[in-house]
Homo-oligomer: A and B are copies of this chain.
Amino acid sequence: MTPLGTQGTYPYPNEPTWSRSEKVLARTVFDAALKRELQEVMQKTKQMANQINQPSDLWDLERYLTERRKDIDSKYDFRSSRLTKVLGKLLCERRVSEDELRALRKDKVEAIRSCAKCLSEDAA
């Protein structure tokens, strides 16, 4: 039995240990994905706003923004204990590519891939 606190946390008890340099690499991937996602929300917001022609469209836009804000806030969590899951989710949503992960160590890429696979099966 692994003592609590030495390796990862629930629900990923096998979360690998991230070195400082790997965290820097992961941060770059993470930041690029966040930037792209925010750009996407900005573009979609302008599009929805341009198409407003009745009051209910206003509250649809408000709901869209609230949902995107909450989703982005909960998804982009850069704590080490969450990195595999966060990058796995981003890979699963195709917000990061396999190519962007190439600079990471093989054990990390495997763990991220396995997490993405698990999430994609869960969503199916």
Whether, in the assembled complex, A77 has its beta carbon less than 8 Å from a beta carbon of chain B, the answer is no
Copies of this chain:
2
Segment of A22-30, A42-50, A115-123 in the binding face: A42-50
User: CB distance A52 to B62 under 8 Å?
Assistant: no
- Of residues 13 through 62 on chain A, the ones whose CB sits less than 8 Å from some CB of chain B are 38, 41-42, 45-46, 48-50, 52-53, 55, 57-59, 61-62
Contact assessment for B50 and A59 in the assembled complex, using a CB-CB cutoff below 8 Å: no
Interface of A is mostly: helix
Inside 8 A of A52's CB, which chain B residues have their CB? 42, 45-46
- Once bound together, how far apart are the Cα atoms of A49 and B66, in whole Å? 15
CB-nearest residue of chain B relative to A51?
A: B46
| CB neighbors of B among A54-84 (8 A) | 55, 57-59, 61-62, 65-66, 68-69
